[in-house]
Amino acid sequence: MSGPASSPAPVGVGLVGLGTIGTGVVKLMQRNFDVMRERLGFPLRMVRVADLDTTRDRGVDLSGIRFDADAAGLVDDPAVDIVVELIGGYDAARRFIHRAIESGKHVVTANKALLALHGKEIFDAAARKGVDVAFEASVGGGIPILRVLREGLAANRILSLHGIINGTTNYILTEMEQSGAAFETVLKRAQDLGYAEVDPTFDVDGIDAAHKLTLLASMAFGAELSFKEVPTEGIRGITPLEFESAAEFGYRIKLLGIAKASPEADGVERIEARVHPTMIPSESLLAKVDGAMNAIAVHGDAVGPTLFYGAGAGEMPTASAVVADLMEIAREIRRGRAGRVAPLSYLPESLRPRPVVPLGEIEARCYLRFTALDRPGVLARITGVLGDHGIGIESVIQKGRGRAGESVPVVMLTDVAREEAVRRSLALIDALPELTAPTCLVRIEEEL
């Protein structure tokens, strides 16, 4: 449809790693070849694929594509203009990306783990060689959130960002809420359905979300940030009682990645950056994001509140993001350019270390679930300790009565309190003889 006259040479893509997403990329580039060409004006073609497993049938047509296990050969192949790295993990991926950059190839990757740890080294190498490294697929799956931060909201000072950025945990929390089942039961079911990995640590302990938040916070605030600095807490401690209580208080529970600009302390610009289960108002848009879907709420000083929603994972949604990056880079190749926009939105020389506010300094309303023997005076002792630390209590719910020697849950909502005061109180409270299990703390975010 792009006119019979010209038939410009294609831009060539090489793919390292033919797993689920890689297979989606091959499929999508074939299926939408025409419509992509009508937008680009030239063809974008997969010319070579490398994977250690060259025999498994992925249900994708590889005819016309050179397919072998030679990833290094792919990177060096002059027919390959852009290298897509989809093997994941650290060492091999890092090696191939650097090899591609050193050969003057542009790189597209979905590897948030690698970028959250070694992003600076990779972006610096790319800048030196004048090639692009694009990574839209690494955060929020098919949601073009990185483009939004880098270009769509580029005129804004970002004030805050709240993201449901891990589909597995959002699926588990949604299922727990709907079924009333315990975490372990729902995790097992999610594993059986393929929604959770056999080793679910990266997802359920919040590590994957912290990787993604590291990239988002870096871009939002121009921060030199390593994921190791991001306080991270997963969802293993959430029980069915938390959902029941949250509903009574008008909240839902989501694992959020949160980043905020913090008021200057002693002339130093700090940021909040943290991942933890969070109670958010049921009526907020973010609270309506269920199942494996993702959404990122971004508040800019000019634009005000915004929200970007879509599938956070999966073969075709993630391929959608990878191929969008390929199209953007291919355009630049045809124009003989690179480096149009800084990978982390701020120019490398404008990125600066932004200390992360320690969790102890966070001020928030808190949900507390105590597990205590049902004895006279327990509630008074608990509230006494909280009061001694200046923590006001907004509501208390005791869930049923325990028989002699049995524990009952006592649920409280606090006023806005400083986390270190809450933690000091909990250390004292949990040491009381009536307390039979560690207290569960869930932070509340209201401004959504």
Q: Which residues are catalytic?
A: 212
CB 276 within 8 A of CB 440: no
Amino acid letter, 168: T
Which token pair is 329?
A: 């880079």
CA 133 and chain centroid, separation: 19
CA 327 and chain centroid, separation: 24
Shortest separation between residue 174's beta carbon and its own copies, angstroms: 13
- Alpha-carbon distance of 111 to 109, in angstroms, equals 5
Which token pair is 60?
A: 């994708």
Amino acid letter, 227: F
Shortest separation between residue 14's beta carbon and its own copies, angstroms: 17
Shortest separation between residue 334's beta carbon and its own copies, angstroms: 10
Q: Judged by CB, which is closer to its own copies: 142, or 200? A: 142
Q: Judged by CB, which is closer to its own copies: 339, or 433? A: 339
Shortest separation between residue 308's beta carbon and its own copies, angstroms: 6
Q: Judged by CB, which is closer to its own copies: 327, or 421? A: 327
- Alpha-carbon distance of 78 to 103, in angstroms, equals 10
In this structure, is the dihedral angle defined by the CA atoms of residues 311, 317, 320 and 321, taken in order, positive or negative?
positive
Residue with tokens 């060096």: 76
CB 99 within 8 A of CB 123: no
CA 403 and chain centroid, separation: 44
Shortest separation between residue 201's beta carbon and its own copies, angstroms: 27
Which SS3 state, helix, strand or coil, does residue 441 take? strand
Q: Judged by CB, which is closer to its own copies: 179, or 350? A: 350
In angstroms and rounded to an integer, the radius of gyration of the C-alpha atoms of the chain is 24
Shortest separation between residue 97's beta carbon and its own copies, angstroms: 22
Residue 226, phi-psi category: left (phi > 0), alpha (psi -120 to 50), beta (remainder): beta
Residue with tokens 């599938």: 311
Q: Judged by CB, which is closer to its own copies: 117, or 297? A: 297
CB 113 within 8 A of CB 211: yes
CB 163 within 8 A of CB 216: yes
Q: Judged by CB, which is closer to its own copies: 38, or 102? A: 38
Residue 71: Cβ within 10 Å count: 25
Q: Judged by CB, which is closer to its own copies: 34, or 406? A: 34
Q: Which residues, in sequence order, are CB contacts of 49 under 8 Å at separation 6+? A: 14, 15, 16, 18, 22, 26, 62, 65, 66, 67, 74
Would you give the DSSP letter of residue 254?
Answer: E
The residues binding its own copies (CB under 8 A) are 1-3, 24, 28-29, 31-32, 35-36, 38-41, 136, 142-144, 147-148, 151-157, 222, 283, 285, 288-289, 295, 300-311, 314, 316-317, 319-321, 323-324, 326-328, 331, 335, 337, 340-342, 345-347, 349-350, 352
